[in-house]
Amino acid sequence: MNAYAIVILVALLGEFVLSLVSSTLNLRSLSPVLPTEFNGVFDEQRYSRSQDYTRTQTRFSLIRSTLNLVLVLTWWQLGGFPWLDQLLRELGFGSVITGVLYIGVLSVASALLGLPFRVYSTFVIEDRYGFNRTSPRTFVADQLKGLILAVALGGGLLAMVLAFFEWAGPLAWLWCWMAVTSISLIIQFVAPTWIMPLFNKFTPLDAGELQEAILAYARSARFPLRGIFVVDGSRRSSKANAFFTGFGKHKRIGLFDTLVEQYNVSELVAIVAHEIGHYKKWHIWKALALSITHTGAILWVLSLFLKQDGLFAAFYMNDPSVYTGLVFFGLLFTPVELALSVLVNMFSRRNEYEADAFAAQTTGNPGALITALKKLSADNLTNLTPHPFHVFLHYSHPPVLQRIESLQEPAA
């Protein structure tokens, strides 16, 4: 147990303990009293059901994270990392192909170990609470499509990163950064038209009152909206959602069919206004810039640690390599990634407030967004009283009650 091993062990255990503490506090903060703002939206049965859903999801997540931690530590201490490395080296491929196989095997093993949890979450928990509409056939197809994309995109990108670090010398991290950034930008443009339709059907919104209202709002907000699509989210879940994706002429606003079926025109316009607010407030570009900067910083720091023999010794590796260094660095970077995720979530929550304010101001009807948020909370069995520490660690969106209070402030 050298210094690197101790840091990684403390990081893994520390992250688990933090999650355990925040989850425990979150369960204790469940209030039997319905917040007055939701009178008429949640009845007694639905409110009780939302709390049961939170308890079930929390306990399930803790079981899953506990098993993951045990498996990682067991694999580590039994010498699984060097054993797999030696096994693949004996195949006689070059370092890049061996590296892709090494990380690929670990990734597939992780996915297979997580598969029973995904099955149970989808077909037991989500079904128990009336959300699941995924057929076994759709579930299997989703897994296979995800695997193919991971191999095609992830495998190719990984091979490029390994090749640069093997042959590009001290500036390898910079070449990797440029390559990763370029591919990420390309994916941002092609995902709405090539990748996302692999999983969902995008149908142009039919002409009518809703389409006219959304287009009229977009013109008033000076937003050149070309694509409004209804997404067949009901194939998988009864939960409602909306999203904005793409850039330039590939911009799309997607409304789940469950949303279109259950919400009135003013509520749907308010939801669209919120999504447009993210674009008009440059949130998407800021998040992209933050992601690119984050990637560059990680690759630079990685280039420094790939030279540290102690990192490899911590995992009983006698033959250091770039690909095993990538895996070990990911574990070493755990506490930094946790801190960064907290900062990113803070940034995201602030953006949500700004998008809410933009929607309220540009529609002139904050009440419509408030009503939509309340209905979404009821339909999705949202926890209305999350603990602040749990929100601090995990929430990318502010708690719904705080969003409503913020929307009500200008009228107060």
Catalytic residue annotation: 275, 356
Identify residue 179 by its one-letter amino acid code: A
- Tokens found for residue 177: 């950064």
Which contacts (CB < 8 Å, 24+ apart) does range 24-31 have? Answer: 25/387, 25/389, 25/390, 26/54, 26/58, 26/383, 26/386, 26/387, 26/389, 26/390, 27/54, 27/55, 27/58, 28/387, 29/385, 29/386, 29/387, 29/390, 30/54, 30/55, 30/383, 30/385, 31/384, 31/385
Residue 348 and residue 396: Cα distance in Å, rounded?
A: 5
Tokens of 111: 């996915």
As beta bridge partners, residue 203 has 230
Q: What is the CA radius of gyration of the chain?
A: 23
- Tokens read off for 55: 């308890």
What does the DSSP 8-state code read for residue 392?
H
- DSSP-derived secondary structure for 264-328: -HHHHHHHHHHHHHHHHTTHHHHHHHHHHHHHHHHHHHHHHHTT-HHHHHTTT-SS--HHHHHHH
214 membership: H or E segment, kind and range: helix 209-220
Q: Do residues 162 and 323 make contact, with C-beta atoms less than 8 angstroms apart?
A: yes
Answer for the pair 393, 19: CB distance below 8 angstroms, yes or no. Answer: yes
Specify whether the CB–CB gap between 348 and 397 falls below 8 A: yes
Residues 6+ apart with CB under 8 A from 205: 211, 214, 228, 229, 230, 255, 260
